[in-house]
């Protein structure tokens, strides 16, 4: 995409060191189930790196980290083909960030060790933020940090396992955790959990600044990121409601966090990473794409996804949500949208896209918030879960079911 012609005076942002990784732009693509697969990560990363192509001496993570959609430890250990396909990186991916989810310390530790051992992961992130009722009702996801002993066991055992596998290879593989503020305002977990994580040797903590109860509703409460940062000596990553380069800069400035995590804002808008990189490096703001350029990105996204999955028909069905996101705000018309939803091949997709008025400029309504929102949801938890911050044996048994059919959040 074109950049305005102005003299380029890059001003490198404060970089972060995470194990062996030097993250030179403090931005992270959020793990998103069903979204941040290898194809989408590659596209986001290439957009992130685009404004930096003239900048010399960039090392392995010049434009931040791009985290894979979460995968459950149990699915990996049970040898699920789908789970293993989900962690396969793109060949051009220099830094492989994999997010694991699970409720059982030993299986999480074993799975993390295998991922490092097989060099599938250069960075492991643990998900403690999933608010989905069917997960938290069994004590999983965002409900885990309430049980301090379980949380401590998980981070300690995974840390040991990652270090053991990495040290054999002479590597230093960072471990990070991602969580929410707590269950609700009366049951805040982030400060205790972050301290436990820090003591266990975790490299950084990411905070989606909403509670489980808030779900995706309302505004993210960045003041909690500020408060967390004040208490921590390891890096803090802030997350929630970054929809522009300016939002990224504002979160860094207002909260003093070390990096920003970007989720829904890049759905159908991977060039947001160009915008953010340019903003954080003081480079000219890239021009927004016309519909013709959006079409090219969308086709490249679909092609890459087919290459990864090897299944064109299934990929085209999975691409439907992306197509909707990419076309948000453009004058497309109901019938064209319906037709685009029915495509079953790359060729069809291209034909249908070419029927649109491709000279349209980027619509202002495509800026700003996008993706899941909704209303708060009463937290669903196992009976008596909040009575104690220690896990009972009965609760441990019940947790096993909290890994079934988990899909992000």
Q: Which residues bind ligand FMN (CB under 6 A)?
A: 30-35, 69-70, 99, 127, 129, 178, 208, 220, 239-242, 262-265, 371-372, 408-409
- Is 257 catalytic? The answer is no
- With CA atoms as reference, report the closest residue to 258 among 38, 11, 13, 35: 13
CA-based radius of gyration for the chain: 21
| Closer Cβ to ligand FMN, 150 or 272, answer by number | 272
Q: Tell me if 209 sits within 8 A of 181, measured CB to CB.
A: yes
Tell me the closest approach of the beta carbon of residue 216 to ligand FMN, in angstroms.
7
- With CA atoms as reference, report the closest residue to 330 among 288, 271, 300: 288
Burial class (CB in 10 A: 0-12, 13-18, 19+), 241: buried
| Closer Cβ to ligand FMN, 276 or 340, answer by number | 276
Q: Tell me if 215 sits within 8 A of 376, measured CB to CB.
A: yes
Tokens describing residue 369: 């918030």
Tokens describing residue 409: 């959040």
CA distances from 168 to 113, 116, 165, 173 (A): 11, 10, 6, 11
Tell me the closest approach of the beta carbon of residue 72 to ligand FMN, in angstroms.
10
Tell me the closest approach of the beta carbon of residue 35 to ligand FMN, in angstroms.
5
| Closer Cβ to ligand FMN, 260 or 294, answer by number | 260
Tokens describing residue 69: 């959609």
Burial class (CB in 10 A: 0-12, 13-18, 19+), 226: middle
Q: Tell me if 245 sits within 8 A of 239, measured CB to CB.
A: no
| Closer Cβ to ligand FMN, 264 or 301, answer by number | 264
| Closer Cβ to ligand FMN, 263 or 286, answer by number | 263
Tell me the closest approach of the beta carbon of residue 222 to ligand FMN, in angstroms.
11
Tell me the closest approach of the beta carbon of residue 246 to ligand FMN, in angstroms.
14
396, 398, 403, 404: CA torsion to nearest 10: 160
Give the Cα separation of 135 and 151 in Å (integer): 16
Q: How many CB atoms lie within 10 A of CB 251?
A: 27
Q: Tell me if 81 sits within 8 A of 88, measured CB to CB.
A: no
- With CA atoms as reference, report the closest residue to 80 among 408, 406, 303, 313: 406
CB neighbours of 144 closer than 8 A, spacing ≥ 6?
103, 128, 150, 151, 154
Kindly list the catalytic residues: 130
């Amino acid at each position: 995409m074109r950049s305005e012609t102005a003299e380029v005076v890059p001003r490198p942002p404060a970089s972060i060191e995470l194990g062996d990784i030097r993250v030179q732009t403090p931005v992270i693509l959020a793990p998103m189930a069903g979204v941040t697969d290898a194809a989408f990560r590659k596209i986001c990363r290439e957009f992130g790196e685009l404004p930096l192509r003239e900048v010399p001496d960039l090392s392995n993570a010049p434009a931040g980290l791009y985290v894979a959609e979460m995968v459950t430890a149990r699915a990996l250990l049970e040898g699920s083909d789908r789970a293993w396909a989900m962690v396969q990186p793109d060949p051009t991916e220099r830094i492989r960030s994999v997010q694991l989810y699970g409720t059982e310390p030993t299986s999480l530790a074993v799975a993390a060790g295998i991922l490092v051992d097989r060099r599938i992961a250069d960075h492991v992130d643990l998900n403690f933020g999933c608010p989905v009722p069917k997960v938290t009702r069994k004590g999983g996801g965002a409900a885990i940090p309430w049980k301090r002993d379980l949380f401590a066991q998980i981070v300690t055992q995974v840390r040991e396992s990652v270090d053991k596998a990495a040290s054999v290879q002479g590597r230093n593989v960072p471990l990070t955790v991602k969580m929410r503020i707590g269950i609700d305002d009366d049951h805040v977990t982030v400060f205790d959990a972050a301290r436990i994580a820090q003591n266990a040797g975790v490299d950084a903590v990411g905070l989606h600044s909403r509670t489980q109860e808030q779900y995706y509703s309302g505004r993210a409460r960045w003041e909690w990121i500020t408060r967390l940062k004040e208490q921590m000596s390891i890096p803090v990553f802030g997350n929630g409601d970054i929809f522009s380069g300016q939002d990224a800069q504002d979160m860094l400035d207002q909260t003093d966090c070390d990096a920003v995590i970007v989720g829904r804002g890049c759905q159908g808008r991977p060039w947001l990473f160009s915008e953010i990189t340019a903003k954080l490096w003081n480079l000219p703001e890239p021009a927004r794409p016309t519909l013709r350029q959006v079409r090219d990105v969308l086709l490249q996204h679909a092609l890459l996804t087919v290459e990864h999955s090897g299944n064109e028909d299934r990929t085209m069905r999975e691409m439907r949500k992306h197509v909707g996101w990419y076309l948000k705000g453009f004058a497309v018309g109901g019938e064209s949208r319906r037709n685009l939803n029915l495509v079953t091949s790359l060729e069809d997709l291209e034909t249908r896209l070419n029927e649109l008025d491709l000279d349209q400029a980027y619509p202002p309504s495509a800026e700003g918030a996008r993706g899941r929102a909704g209303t708060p949801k009463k937290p669903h938890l196992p009976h008596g879960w909040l009575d104690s911050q220690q896990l009972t044996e009965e609760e441990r048994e019940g947790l096993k079911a909290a890994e079934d059919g988990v899909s992000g959040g």
